[in-house]
C-alpha cells in the first residue's frame, strides 16, 4: 500500500489537507479537509476501479463547505449504474464504459478521470454519468523541485463537464500533482514553492484559450442589426419577454419592442431569434469548486 500527502496553500491562509493511499486491488482511499475561517469540507472517499480505470464503486462521507452532512454512494453492477447523493437518487442501465462524475469526492476523482481519459482504450474521450462526454487535452510540461526531490508536472485540460474546462496537473506517472484555482491550490506536499509557477503557467493557458475562442466566435455585423422573434430577459423586472424585436445601430441598442412581423428595413442584417433567449448582459460571482459538475 502506498501513501501520498498534499497541502493546499491558499490566499485566504486556510488550513487545508489532502491524503491519498492506494491498495494494490485498484482501491483508492482519500481524505480531503480544509478550514476556511471555520468553514470547509471534510470528506472521506473510497474509490474502486476496473481494469480500464473506470469507477465501479465510490462512497463519500463527511461534511461540505458549510458543514452540512454529505453522503454519496455509487455502484456499477452488470452494466447498471446506481448513485445517490444530496441532490440525486438515480439509476441508469447500459452504463458500462461510462465514467461517474461525483459531487462530493475530493481532487483525486479528477485525477482518476484524467487517467481514464488518457488510457489507450478511451482515446481521449469518455461518455460520463449522468450524461455527456468528457475529453482531455495535454497542454504543457515542465520540471519542478521540492524538498530535495524532482518531478515533471504536466497540465491537462478536461472539457465537456461545464461551460469552461477544468485544469489539473499530473506527474510523469500520471498521478495527481496539483489543482490550481484563482485563490487556492492543492499541491503535493513538499512542492508548495512551485504553486506560483503552476498558477502562472495555467493562467497563460487560460488566456490563450480565451483568445482563440474570441477569434473563432466573435462576429461584427457589417450593417445595423435586427434580432427578431427572440425571447428577451428583462433584468430589471426579472422576467422573460417573448416575441421581441431588438434593433441595434452601431454599438447601441436603438429599440426593444414586440415583434409585429413587419419586414426588416433595407441595410439591416436580420437574425432570427426563434427558440433563443437574448441576455442584455451576464455577470456573476461563483466560488471556485473542485467538484466535477454542477447539479441544477
Domain ranges of the chain: 2-214, 224-278
pLDDT for residue 23: 56
On average, the pLDDT of the chain sits at 88
Q: Tell me how crowded residue 173 is: count the other CB atoms within 10 A of its CB.
A: 9
The answer to whether residue 96 scores a pLDDT higher than 80 is yes
Q: Summarize pLDDT for 199-220 with one digit per residue, the tens.
A: 999 999 999 999 999 999 887 7
Mean pLDDT of 31-35: 92
Q: Summarize pLDDT for 143-155 with one digit per residue, the tens.
A: 999 888 999 999 9
Q: Summarize pLDDT for 237-255 with one digit per residue, the tens.
A: 889 999 999 999 888 899 9
pLDDT for residue 250: 84
pLDDT for residue 187: 94
Name, in order, each residue with C-beta under 8 angstroms of 34's C-beta and a sequence gap of 6 or more: 8, 10, 14, 15, 16, 17, 40, 41
Q: For residue 177, report the phi and psi dihedrals to the nearest 5 degrees.
A: -115, -45
pLDDT for residue 1: 58
Residue 97 pLDDT level (bands cut at 50, 70, 90): very high
pLDDT for residue 148: 87
Q: Summarize pLDDT for 256-280 with one digit per residue, the tens.
A: 999 998 888 888 889 999 999 998 7
pLDDT for residue 239: 94
Q: Return the percentage of the chain with pLDDT > 70, whole number.
A: 86
Mean pLDDT of 112-116: 97
* CATH-assigned architecture of domain 224-278: Roll (2.30)
The answer to whether residue 285 scores a pLDDT higher than 60 is no
Q: Summarize pLDDT for 43-73 with one digit per residue, the tens.
A: 999 999 999 999 999 999 999 999 999 999 9
pLDDT for residue 240: 95
Q: Summarize pLDDT for 153-194 with one digit per residue, the tens.
A: 999 999 999 989 999 999 999 999 999 987 889 999 999 999
pLDDT for residue 19: 61
Amino acid at each position: 500500500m502506498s501513501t501520498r500527502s498534499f497541502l493546499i496553500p491558499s490566499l485566504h491562509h486556510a488550513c487545508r489537507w489532502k491524503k491519498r493511499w492506494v491498495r494494490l486491488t485498484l482501491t483508492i482511499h482519500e481524505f480531503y479537509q480544509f478550514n476556511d475561517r471555520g468553514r470547509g469540507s471534510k470528506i472521506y472517499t473510497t474509490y474502486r476501479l476496473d481494469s480500464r480505470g473506470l469507477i465501479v464503486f465510490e462512497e463519500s462521507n463527511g461534511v461540505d463547505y458549510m458543514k452540512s452532512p454529505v453522503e454519496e454512494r455509487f455502484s456499477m453492477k452488470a452494466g447498471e449504474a446506481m448513485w445517490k447523493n444530496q441532490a440525486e437518487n438515480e439509476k441508469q442501465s447500459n452504463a458500462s464504459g461510462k465514467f461517474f462524475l461525483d459531487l462530493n469526492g475530493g481532487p483525486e476523482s479528477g485525477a482518476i478521470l484524467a487517467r481514464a481519459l488518457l488510457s489507450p482504450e478511451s482515446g481521449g474521450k469518455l461518455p460520463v454519468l449522468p450524461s455527456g462526454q468528457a475529453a482531455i487535452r495535454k497542454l504543457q510540461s515542465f520540471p519542478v523541485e521540492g524538498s530535495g526531490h524532482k518531478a515533471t508536472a504536466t497540465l491537462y485540460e478536461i472539457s465537456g463537464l461545464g461551460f469552461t474546462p477544468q485544469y489539473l496537473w499530473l506527474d510523469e506517472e500520471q498521478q495527481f500533482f496539483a489543482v490550481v484555482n484563482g485563490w487556492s491550490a492543492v499541491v503535493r506536499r513538499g512542492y508548495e514553492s512551485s504553486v506560483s509557477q503552476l498558477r502562472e503557467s495555467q493562467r497563460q493557458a487560460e488566456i490563450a484559450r480565451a483568445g482563440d475562442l474570441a477569434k473563432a466566435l466573435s462576429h461584427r455585423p457589417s450593417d445595423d442589426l435586427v434580432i427578431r422573434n427572440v425571447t428577451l430577459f428583462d433584468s430589471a423586472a426579472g422576467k422573460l419577454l417573448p416575441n421581441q424585436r431588438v434593433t441595434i445601430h452601431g454599438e447601441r441598442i436603438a429599440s426593444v419592442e414586440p415583434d409585429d412581423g413587419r419586414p426588416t428595413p433595407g441595410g439591416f442584417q436580420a437574425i432570427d431569434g426563434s427558440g433563443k433567449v437574448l441576455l442584455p448582459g451576464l455577470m456573476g460571482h461563483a466560488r471556485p469548486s473542485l467538484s466535477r459538475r454542477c447539479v441544477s
